[in-house]
Structure 1
Amino acid sequence: MDDDRVWSFEKSLWTGGADHYRELVDDECLMVLPHPPFVLSGSQAIEAVADTPRWSGVDFSNGQIARPQEGLIVIAYHAKASRDGETYEAHCTSTYRRLSPEVWRVIQHQQTPPLVGSTAEKTAE
């Protein structure tokens, strides 16, 4: 999967409908999200995100892509998403595995919102 397709694939996970999300997320996926129960797996992870309102738009910055082996892609980025006057920001990672030449599934995803009052911020003051 080329870089443009990677970012398009990831964006579709933020903005696509629940059925689209269920199609692209693997049954063995592990997720860490910033709300209870925090660590989710398999169908629990799929349903937790599929049942939430989708974002109307998302922008990525500071994106990086790694391909540690054939059929495996790891990405890291900062996301800024919006819907109905609400915004959300997080540092994210996702890992995809290839099932066949054109079929990829998410097997890992995590979101970390910006930390408030972190040690780095305090030392910068």
Structure 2
Amino acid sequence: MDDERVWSFEKSLWTGDEENYRKLIDESCLMVLPHPPFAMSGVQAIEAVAGTPRWTEVELAKGQIARPQEGLIVIAYQAKASRGDETYEAYCTSTYRRLAHDEWRVVQHQQTLPAAISGVVEKG
């Protein structure tokens, strides 16, 4: 998957409908989000996010892509999302695994709120 497609894939997880989300998240996915239950796996991760309202806009910045081996893509980025007057910002990672030609699934996703790392940045 080329870089442009990687970022399009990731954006679709923020703004796409529930069906899109369920299609792209692997049942073995591990996910850490900044709200309870925090760490989730498999179907629990899919259900936790699938039922939430989708974001209407998302900007992915400071993106990095690694391809540590064939069929594995790891990305890191800063997300700024909005829907109406609500906004959200997080630093994120996702890992994709290729199942077949042009068929990828998210097997890991993590979000860290800027407030959680602000003390680290200030001290660093």
Q: What amino acid sits opposite 1:115 in the alignment?
A: A
Partner of 1:80: 80
2:9 aligned residue: 9
Return structure 1 stretches of 4+ with deviation > 6 angstroms.
none
Per-residue deviation, 1:119: 4.1
**Structure 1 residue 84: Cα displacement:** 1.1
**Gaps (5+ residues) in structure 1?**
none
Q: % of aligned pairs identical? A: 70
Output the aligned Cα RMSD.
1.2
Q: What do residues 9-42 of structure 1 show as CA deviations (whole Å, max 9, x unaligned)?
A: 0000000011110000000000000000000000
1:2, 1:113 → 2: CA distance?
28
SS of the residue corresponding to residue 19 of structure 1 reads helix
User: What residue number does 2:121 align with?
Assistant: 120
Aligned residues: 123
Q: 1:68 is matched with which residue?
A: 68
With the length of structure 2 as denominator, give the TM-score of the two structures: 0.95
Q: Gaps spanning 5+ residues in structure 2: where?
A: none
Using the size of structure 1 for normalisation, the TM-score is: 0.95
State the match for 1:45 in structure 2: 45
Residue aligning to 1:18: 18
Query: 1:115 deviation in Å?
Result: 2.1
1:52 partner amino acid: T
Asked if residue 108 in structure 1 is aligned to residue 102 in structure 2, the reply is: no
Letter in 2 for 1:71: G
The 10-residue stretch of structure 1 (109-118 or 12-21) with the greater mean CA deviation from structure 2: 109-118
Partner of 1:95: 95
Which structure has the larger Rg over C-alpha atoms? 1
